[in-house]
């Protein structure tokens, strides 16, 4: 091709896209993020995760830090398509150092849902202690709790704890 230098066409092709320095900086940033999350109280931890997710979602969508994103707004309604969802997953895996499902953005369709999921995946989820009755007689004679006072997550935890107690009691009687 006249006027086009082959040297300029291939310039930069032999250079690595990611340097050892980039990898080290990424590792340090991830370690610092995880350390900050582990040290934070639960409410602050959730805020830190949401803030990081907002940063990553803005980057994937090509938004600036000044652009307001509501953590309750659906990722699809923000303009995220399937390719962007894959990019978001990759960025989050890099940022948090964990493997995440390919369907991440579809199963957790907004930033708040993603934050809750990430807390669990990072082993940082705080589960409410469920009050446990000690006997069937106590349960029978206790006032029925108002289930509307509990969140869905608290109810799940209560059920899991009760089921575990029942299974343990059943194992104790079946082995005798």
Per-residue pLDDT of the chain (176 residues; tens, 9 = 90+): 555 555 555 565 555 566 788 778 878 888 888 888 888 888 889 899 999 999 999 999 999 999 999 999 999 999 999 999 999 999 999 999 999 999 999 999 999 999 999 999 998 876 544 444 444 444 444 444 555 556 677 667 777 777 777 777 777 665 54
62 CB-near residues (< 8 Å, 6+ apart): none
Q: Spelled out in words, what is the top-level CATH class assigned to the domain 20-121?
A: mainly alpha
User: Residues 147, 154, 125, CA angle at the centre, nearest 5°?
Assistant: 165
Domain extent listing, the chain? 20-121, 136-174
Whether 92 and 18 have beta carbons less than 8 Å apart is answered as no
CA atoms within 13 A on the CB side of 128: 13
């Amino acid at each position: 091709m006249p006027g086009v230098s082959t040297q300029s066409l291939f310039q930069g092709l032999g250079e690595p896209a990611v340097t050892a320095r980039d990898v080290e900086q990424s590792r340090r940033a991830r370690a610092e993020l995880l350390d900050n999350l582990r040290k934070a109280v639960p409410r602050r931890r959730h805020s830190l995760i949401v803030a990081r997710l907002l940063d990553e979602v803005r980057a994937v969508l090509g938004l600036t830090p000044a652009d307001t994103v509501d953590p309750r707004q659906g990722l699809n309604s923000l303009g995220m398509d399937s390719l962007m969802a894959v990019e978001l997953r990759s960025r989050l895996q890099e940022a948090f150092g964990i493997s995440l499902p390919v369907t991440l953005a579809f199963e957790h369709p907004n930033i708040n849902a993603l934050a809750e999921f990430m807390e669990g995946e990072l082993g940082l989820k705080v589960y409410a202690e469920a009050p446990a009755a000690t006997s069937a007689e106590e349960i029978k004679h206790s006032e029925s709790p108002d289930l509307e006072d509990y969140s869905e997550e608290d109810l799940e935890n209560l059920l899991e704890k009760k089921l575990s107690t029942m299974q343990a009691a059943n194992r104790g009687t079946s082995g005798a």
